[in-house]
Structure formats: C-alpha cells, structure tokens
Amino acid sequence: MVKVRIWGSLTAATDGRSEVEVDATNLRELLDSLAQAYPGLQPQLKRGVTVAIDGLLYNDDWFTPISDDSEVVLLSRLQGG
Amino acid sequence: MALDKNAPETRSFKVVGSRPLRPDGIDKVTGRARFGADMSAPGMLIGHILRSPHAHARIRAIDTSKAEALAGVKAVVTRADFAAAPEGMEDVLDNCMAGEKALYDGHAVAAIAATSAAIARQAAKLIEVDYEVLPHVTDVDAAMAPGAPALHDGRSDETVPDGYSANVMSRVEYGHGDIEAGLAKADRVLERSYKTAATHQGYIEPHACLATMGPDGQADLWCCTQGHYMVRNTCAALLGMDQGQLRVTASEIGGGFGGKTTVFIEPVALALARKAGRPVKIVMDRTEVLRATGPTASSSIDVRIGMTKDGRITAADAELRYQGGAYPGSPVGMGSMSAFAPYDLENVRTIGYDVVTNRPKQAAYRAPGAPMAAFAVESAIDELAKGFGLDPLDVRLKNAAREGTRSSYGPTFPAIGLEATLRAAKDHPHWSAPLGPNQGRGVACGFWFNFGGDTCVTLNVTPDGTVTVTEGNPDIGGSRASMSMMAAEELGIPYEKVRTVIADTGALGQNEVTDGSRVTFAVGLATIEAARAAKREMCARVAKIWGIDEEAVIWEDGAAKPAGPNAGDYPPMTLAEIAAIASNTGGPIAGHHEVNAEGAGVSFATHIADTEVDPDTGATRIVRYTVIQDAGKAVHPAYVEGQFQGGAVQGIGWALNEEYIYGADGILQNPGFLDYRIPVASDLPMIDTVILEIPNPGHPYGVRGVGETSIVPPLAAVANSVSAATGVRMTDLPMSPPKVLAAVQGQQEG
C-alpha cells in the first residue's frame, strides 16, 4: 500500500483525511486506485494533477515506479511560463 | 523514466561551461533572422480581427454582409466558422473568437481576410454586431463579492464552498500543522494585505502568423510561438482537422515569457485561409497584444505570520485571490504552493481562490503565480525581521528549507540550494556596501518548480563529420547553443562542428512547449542520449571494420578506440573518419531519443536590491541589483546570466511601473508602451549575477531550469528596498511615483 498525501481542499472527497492509502506500483495504478476508492476525487483527477514522488514532480508518465515506502503527494497541475 | 539512470556524472567538462558565440546572434543583429511577421506567400491576404469595444456584452447577432460585399474582401469568419471545441478546449476557442458573449474589452468577435490591410480595416467597420451591454467587473475582490456581475453560470467547481460569488471558479488549500497554535507561540503576529497589478509579458515581437490551406485540407502555418506542436494540436482540434494534415513551423521568436504558450490568432488565420482558399497573414499591433493576449493575473493577498523575537517563524498563513481574466485557470494553485516554499515551517497554510473577471484571459508568465505570492510573504518576513532588529538574511537562514524539509506544499525536498544562495548573498560585497542618502537595501528569496515533459531529438552525423541536432522547441533563451554544446561535449568534438536546428511539426514526434524552464533540462537530456546512441552506432561500425566485438570498442575524445590491450592494437578512428565511410559500413549514422522527461529539480534564488527614492517626486531608481541562483550546472554561463538578469528586470518593472489600468467602463486605459511603462536599459544598472551549481540529480550533467525563478524575488526585494529607503512599507504594486510620493507625504503628515 502506498500512502498518498492529499491537498487540503480535496479532503472533502476523502472523508476529511489528508493522507490515504491505495494499492499502486506506478503512477497509472495510483491515479486509477484513487479514482476508484474516492469517486469525489474524479473531477480533479480529470482536470489534471501533478504527483510528487520522493520530492520530484511527475505529470503523465504512467509507468513511473512507486514503491510502498515512496513519499507520494498529490498537487495541483503545474504549468510553466 | 527511472531517475537513477540520470545521476549527474562526476566529470570535468570541456565544452559545457564555456561561453561560445551565440549561433543566432549575427542573424538577429543584421535583420536576417525571420520572425513571425517576416513570412509571406504568393497570393497572400491580410487578416484583421474585429474586437469588442465592451467589457461584457451579449452578442445578439452579427451581420457581415456589407463587409463581405466590399471589393477586395475574400473571407469573413465568426464563431460559426469553427468546429465545436473538444472537451477541455472550449475556453481556448471562445477566447480566440467569442461565442455568445464578449467577455472583455478587445475580445475577438469576427475576422476579415482582404487583399490589403486598409481594405480589411475598412471591412471591419462594416460588420454590424448587435451587443446587449452587460454589467462588468475587473477587480478580483469586487468579483468575489456577493452580487458581483457574473461572467459564467455554473462554472464553479466542486471545491468552492456555498456562499461564494459565481465568479469564484475553484479553491485550493495547502499546508500542515496547526496555524492558531503556532501563532500563539509567536512574540509578534504580523497581519498584512498586499495587492499586485496584472502585468504583461511584454515581449518585443507581437503575435504573427501566416496560414495556408489547400482544397485537399492540407495546411501549413508559420508563427511565432513557444510551442508549435501545441499550436498544431490546438488548431487542428478547433478547426476539426487531423493533426497530421497541419504542419506548423516556428519562426524566430522575439520573446514569449509564457505569453506564447497558447493560441490567439493562429486558428483565426487558418479559418480565414480555409474559407478564402488563399494564404492569410495576421500580425497583431501592440494595442491588440495588450488588450487581447494574456497578461498575468492580478492578486489580492492576506498574510499572517508569527515570529519569535529571535527570528523563528512559528506559523505562516495566507489567503491568495487571483483573477485570471474571463476564464478559469489563474495560477493561484502554483502561487499557493510556492508562497512559503523557501521555509521550513511547522505550521503553514495557504488558501487560494481562482476568480474570473472581465479582462483578457491570463496567460502564463515566467513562474506563473509565484512572484505575487513571494511579494506578500517576503515583504511580511522583512517587516517582522526589521521590527525585531534582526538581519533579514539571518532570519531567512534560520528558517530556510533544506534537504529533508517537508515543504509547505507537501513533498519533502531532496538536495536544494536555498541555503547556499543565502550564504552567498551574505558573503557578497553588495550586502555590506555603504548606502547613500535616500537609498535603501532589500532582500528576498524565490522558489520555482521547473518541469520536463515530452521531448524528441534526432542527431545526424553528416558525411563530412559535422553534426546536426534537430529538436522541436523554439529557441527563446539560447537553447540552440546549449544543445550544440551538450552534443559536442558528449561526442568529444568542437562546438563549431555542431549546428542545432528547430524542426517543424512534421519532422519529429510530440514536443512540449518551451516553458517551465524545461528545455535545457529535458531537451538537453534527450540530446545527450541521442549523442550516446550515435556513439554506440559508430563504435559498432568500427568494431565491424576492425573485426572485433562491439563491446571491445569505446568512445573517447571524439574517436572510437580499442577498449584495452586485449581488444587489439588499432589507431583511433575519429568521428569524421567514420562519417566519411558511413555508406560502406551500413548507411547514414544518426542517434535519436524520445522521452517524457519528468522529475525536474526545483530551484531557489536570493536577490539583493538597492534603490534610491526621490523624496520630491516619489520616483525610484535601481542603484544596484544582485541575483544569486542555483543553476544546477550552467551549460552556457552567459545565457544563464542573461536569464537571471532578464527575470530580475521584468520583476523590477512589475514592482515599480507596470500595470493594466481599467477605467470605470471596463476599458483598458493604457494599451501601448507609452502608457504601459516597462523598464529599458537606460533605467537600470548592470544586474550582477552569481551562479551557484548544485547538481540536479535527475539530469546527466546536473542541469536545472533557470528561466523562471529569477522573476520570483524582485517584487519583494525592490519593495523591501523602497520601504527601507522611505521608511514607509509599500504593500500595493506597482510602486509608481505618485503612489510612493503619496505614501511618503502621508507618513510626514501622520
């Protein structure tokens, strides 16, 4: 199980919890598991998120590996200028 | 992509880190470089866009018949000429060509293609638009108030609690700990409100494009953009075309800074070309650029920070309200994440609101959302530090985020360079230099994320042993030089033997936009890997020639050599020697690499600003300015210094003069560079720079993005400096002379 930190305004979709646990070994599984376990997150996941894995930022690369002891944080989708 | 593959190598560089002449320099100073407006085609028509004179109006009808009847007019388009936008692109289309409503002064409502610009402008006057003028709102706090004129119905997302104005599109919240408990431990809690104006990216080159489309539906587009693959994909979607039928070529670009990461005129030119059956060129003038392309968001921010008398921050809290123009998508999320990112805080929270107003849709601007947040936070920290009689650099060092710090936005930082920039600032002669009368010194820190993304590079070895690198990102900040340098470094050949070209969309796979400080990091990574692929191929060819195993051949100093004594005794074969006989050994030699280069490293900077304020006029002069930033590895230090200086100068403009000024009628009052004042060279001293090199673990050479972080600290650095010079805390940007004079006089009277 991977622990995922959720940003504050999304905790309404996770029963108020700022950290949830889901089964995932990569980014794709993580996003799918979150959407399945917490349907209230689906609108935001559809709009897009960035995921910090062990301090580095990922947007789209489905097969980025995630281990059980990875630090995983959900973030607003990032954009550059 | 597994990052452990890319751990920075311990090596001494031969080409990387040097300062060769820029490959585009002569073209740009002689006028040979071809920018967007320099393109033309046989039979070309001139396009012109009719824009709304109202800040907010329902479009009841548009009658184009008189315009179409004018001699020389070949096509007129309105929203009806576009396909229904795919999901998620509705706002992009609506911003390019209004649908049911005009949402801001300057919003496009129709466009004409004619045989001359004069005829096109004359035809625009003949288009009859039946407007129902609606109430408007342009200020972020006014737009959030109950009863404010609503731009859209039902667009607020599920994160917005009940009771907010319909103009609040979304809400974000970040942080950890207990704010109130943290504030209770403070010796002082400072509460302040700050405002920043919308500012434009201010690129020298206005938007320009040339579109052609044949009766078979195949189309070509030349344009100035930060991302021609994005232009292709977006235009194809808005016009109902297959992406493969549209080839987009990026011109040279006269600046973008984030403002050219979307489309404005390109879909319109294509729609006109499709309807007219002839090439159509559209070139914006400066007024159009300011009225109808993206400035950044304006902001209104409340901050509470608690600090002990020895300078430790006990809690930090901010509410950020950003208006991003007429559509959702202000960068308030990134402002909320970056606001307190430089600091190691036990109790921290940011709440952000994305708000729509009757202004042009904001576009990204260098570290979108971060400079405004840093202005508020760094001003408050400065005020607290000075209130306790503490050195503002010492306070920042005491609270600085380091490796292992849980950041304010959630993730734990890996190796980062903030502390190094602060120590370098403290050691810099600038920090201890004497000040003159009416002068003050300010300091501020800044943070930015940096990105990677989809990237393709092909590296071709030509028969005479020169090398061409083909990449798909418009060169804004010197990337052609940087790519050539990294290819030369990897291949072991002189920089002068490599030329980098920017390919059109037909030549490579998908490439992300030139944004997010991504190009030197991501395209550099792909260039290095493409060069390594070419080296492997050349070693394999030489192994065949020598009749030994491929593994027995290594690449060193620009040549294939036996790996050791057991491999045999063969004289090295240089790249040029291998290239000359490529036809005999298997055909042309190339390397390529395709990657979604995620995992970019974050970046920090510290800036020191000295200002002098004229007490009689309120005018502020920048006396001295120093930028200290972590670049990971500076590939071409002169370009890195240029990025540092450019970001600082744009931030200085944001701090002192630049602002979108709207009248009570919702009309932009200053759509020109005479009234919208950007700093020019004569306004500024030479910006001093200090490059720190703390390698990014996600890149083979340790490169980090450098293009954006440098605009984050200047707003606060200059404000802290002006406050020191005048004794008045400035909380509302820009600090234009009348505003500073009023504040100084107010203090004297008070």
What's at B681, amino acid-wise?
A
Task: Tell me whether residue B17 is exposed, middle or buried, using C-beta atoms within 10 angstroms of its C-beta: 0 to 12, 13 to 18, 19 or more.
Answer: middle
Tell me if A80 and B349 make a contact (CB, 8 A cut-off).
no
Kindly identify which residue of chain B lies nearest to residue A64, measuring between CA atoms.
B1
Closest approach of chain A CAs to the CA of B476, in angstroms?
A: 12
Q: Can you identify the CATH homologous superfamily of domain A2-76?
A: Beta-grasp domain (3.10.20.30)
- DSSP string spanning B459-472? EEE-TTS-EEEEE-
Which tens digits make up the pLDDT trace of B250-295? 999 999 999 999 999 999 999 999 999 999 999 999 999 999 999 9
Which tens digits make up the pLDDT trace of B727-748? 999 999 999 999 999 999 998 8
pLDDT at B6 over 60: no
Q: Is the peptide bond before B734 cis (omega within 30 degrees of 0)?
A: yes
Chain A CB contacts of B230 under 8 Å are none
Tell me if A81 and B601 make a contact (CB, 8 A cut-off).
no
Integer Cα distance of B208 and B265 in angstroms: 8
pLDDT value at position B470?
A: 98
Q: Strand, helix or coil at B125? A: helix
Chain A CB contacts of B351 under 8 Å are 8-9
Closest approach of chain A CAs to the CA of B173, in angstroms?
A: 5
Of the residues A61, A66, A72, the best mutation for testing chain B's interface (the one with the most B CB atoms within 10 Å of its CB) is: A61
Chain A CB contacts of B596 under 8 Å are 60-61
pLDDT value at position A9?
A: 83
State mean pLDDT over A11-30: 94
- 3-state SS of chain A is CEEEECCHHHHHHHCCCCEEEECCCEHHHHHHHHHHHCHHHHHHHHHCEEEEECCEEECCCCCCECCCCCCEEEEECCCCC
- 3-state SS of B678-708 is CCCHHHCCCCEEEEECCCCCCCCCCCCCCCC
pLDDT at B1 over 50: no
Residue entry with tokens 């800044």:
B446
Integer Cα distance of B585 and B543 in angstroms: 10
Tell me if B411 and A73 make a contact (CB, 8 A cut-off).
yes
Chain A contact present for B600, CB below 8 A? yes
Integer Cα distance of B299 and B296 in angstroms: 10
Of B158, B366, B600, the CB nearest to A57: B600
Chain B stretch 429-468, residues whose beta carbon is closer than 8 A to a beta carbon of chain A:
449-451, 453
**Contact predicate B443/B606, CB 8 Å:** yes
Chain A CB contacts of B406 under 8 Å are none
Kindly identify which residue of chain B lies nearest to residue A53, measuring between CA atoms.
B411
Gyration radius of chain B's alpha carbons = 27
- Of B452, B298, B480, B450, nearest in space to B376 by CA: B298
Which tens digits make up the pLDDT trace of B333-388? 999 999 999 999 999 999 999 999 999 999 999 999 999 999 999 999 999 999 99
State mean pLDDT over B82-107: 96
Chains A, B: CB pairs < 8 Å = 117
Closest approach of chain A CAs to the CA of B5, in angstroms?
A: 13
What's at B135, amino acid-wise?
P
pLDDT at B200 over 50: yes
Closest approach of chain B CAs to the CA of A41, in angstroms?
A: 10
Asked which of B194-198, B435-439, B456-460, B746-750 is least confident by mean pLDDT, the reply is: B746-750
Integer Cα distance of B228 and B155 in angstroms: 30
What's at B448, amino acid-wise?
W
pLDDT at A52 over 50: yes
State mean pLDDT over A68-76: 94
Tell me if B451 and A65 make a contact (CB, 8 A cut-off).
no
pLDDT value at position B18?
A: 97
Integer Cα distance of B128 and B101 in angstroms: 15
Kindly identify which residue of chain B lies nearest to residue A78, measuring between CA atoms.
B334
Gyration radius of chain A's alpha carbons = 12
pLDDT value at position B9?
A: 60
Domain segments of chain A as ranges: 2-76
| H or E, element range at B172 | strand B168-176
pLDDT at A76 over 90: no
Which tens digits make up the pLDDT trace of B511-531? 999 998 899 999 999 999 999
What's at B9, amino acid-wise?
E
Give the count of beta carbons closer than 10 Å to the beta carbon of residue B368.
33
Which tens digits make up the pLDDT trace of B660-719? 999 999 999 999 999 999 999 999 999 999 999 988 888 999 998 899 999 999 999 999
Q: Which strands form B603-613's sheet, in the order they lie side by side?
A: B439-448, B603-613, B620-630, B688-692
pLDDT at B4 over 50: no
CB neighbour list of residue B139: distance below 8 Å, 6 or more residues apart: B323, B357
State mean pLDDT over B421-439: 98
ipTM of the complex: 0.94
Of A12, A13, A81, the CB nearest to B364: A81
Q: Which residues of A touch B (CB under 8 A)?
A: 5, 7-10, 12-13, 18, 40, 43-44, 47, 52, 54-61, 64-65, 71, 73-81
| Ordered structural domains, chain B, with CATH | 3-33+452-596 (3.30.365.10), 136-410 (3.30.365.10)
Of the residues B334, B353, B709, the best mutation for testing chain A's interface (the one with the most A CB atoms within 10 Å of its CB) is: B334
Tell me what the pLDDT averaged over chain B comes to.
Answer: 96
- DSSP string spanning B31-80? T-S--GGG---TT-EEEEEEE-SSSSEEEEEEE-HHHHHSTTEEEEE-GG
State mean pLDDT over B414-432: 96
Residue entry with tokens 């995921």:
A51
Q: Which residues of B729-744 are buried (b: 16+ CB within 10 A; e: fewer)?
A: bbbebbbbbeebbebb
Give the count of beta carbons closer than 10 Å to the beta carbon of residue B187.
15
Of A57, A76, A81, the CB nearest to B366: A81
Closest approach of chain B CAs to the CA of A1, in angstroms?
A: 18
Instruction: Give the β-pairing of B620-630 and B603-613.
Output: antiparallel
Q: Which residues of B676-710 are buried (b: 16+ CB within 10 A; e: fewer)?
A: bbbbeeeebeebbbbbbbbbbbbbbbbbbbbbbbb
pLDDT at A80 over 90: no
Which tens digits make up the pLDDT trace of B577-627? 999 999 999 999 999 999 999 877 789 999 999 999 999 999 999 999 999
In the structure, what pLDDT confidence band is assigned to residue B7 with cuts at 50, 70 and 90?
Answer: low
In the structure, what pLDDT confidence band is assigned to residue B566 with cuts at 50, 70 and 90?
Answer: very high
Asked which of A29-43, A54-68, B499-513, B517-531 is least confident by mean pLDDT, the reply is: A54-68
Residue entry with tokens 């006014």:
B142
Tell me if A75 and B337 make a contact (CB, 8 A cut-off).
yes
Chain A contact present for B698, CB below 8 A? yes
Tell me if B410 and A81 make a contact (CB, 8 A cut-off).
no
